[in-house]
């Protein structure tokens, strides 16, 4: 783990990381988010008059991953080779897993995290008429591969 924050120069000013001398490598990342909702809202998902919230959220997450550098100021624009969103409906909500891949000089963690976050926000937007108490929880990086720091896998129960 790095001993210093990389988005600051030696004078303490905000700086975009210079990745020009890094090797281009295959990089992947998977992020998770959880949308907690009541059983009534879960039961209504298939019959939402706006359309299937999970399919709309899938598209929103993919689009968001592609727009990450427009949303996060110091992110590099990356040539994404793949973005994938999976949903698991559980008794107390919907788990979202968003994965992104690239061959680049920097990782795709922010793209995966942005995809999971926007997918969760989209589910909220499409179901909020049924219950304003829906919560978005546990947005986190699950795994990343590639680059100088290698592989990271979140340990079970790690918060």
* pLDDT score of 47: 86
Angle, CA of 57, 129 and 88, to the nearest 5°: 35
Q: Could you tell me the pLDDT band of residue 5, with boundaries at 50, 70 and 90?
A: low
* CATH superfamily assigned to domain 25-145: Molybdopterin cofactor biosynthesis C (MoaC) domain (3.30.70.640)
Please report, for the chain, the start and end positions of each structural domain, with discontinuous segments joined by +.
25-145
Q: At what angle do helices 53-66 and 109-127 cross, to 10 degrees?
A: 150
CA distances from 120 to 71, 127, 151 (A): 16, 11, 26
Looking at the annotation, which residues are catalytic? 125
Which pair of structure tokens corresponds to residue 108? 């795709």
pLDDT tens digit string along 32-81?
999 999 999 999 998 877 789 999 999 999 999 999 999 999 999 999 99
Q: Which of 149, 53, 49, 60 is nearest to 106 (CA)?
A: 149
> Whole-model pTM?
0.90
Position 104 pLDDT exceeds 90: yes
pLDDT tens digit string along 10-41?
777 787 777 878 889 999 999 999 999 999 99
Do residues 26 and 129 make contact, with C-beta atoms less than 8 angstroms apart?
no
């Amino acid at each position: 783990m790095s001993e210093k924050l990389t988005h600051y120069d030696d004078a303490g000013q905000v700086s975009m990381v210079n990745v020009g001398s890094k090797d281009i490598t295959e990089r992947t990342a998977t992020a998770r988010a959880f949308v907690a909702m009541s059983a009534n809202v879960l039961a209504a998902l298939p019959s939402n008059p706006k359309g299937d919230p999970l399919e709309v959220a899938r598209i929103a997450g993919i689009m968001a991953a592609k727009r990450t550098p427009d949303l996060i100021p110091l992110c590099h624009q990356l040539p994404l080779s793949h973005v994938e969103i999976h949903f698991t409906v559980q008794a107390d909500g919907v788990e979202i897993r968003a994965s992104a891949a690239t061959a680049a000089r920097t990782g795709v963690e922010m793209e995966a995290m942005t995809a999971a976050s926007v997918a969760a926000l989209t589910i909220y937007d499409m179901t909020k008429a049924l219950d304003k108490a829906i919560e978005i929880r546990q947005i986190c990086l699950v795994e990343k591969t590639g680059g100088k720091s290698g592989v990271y896998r979140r340990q079970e129960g790690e918060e």
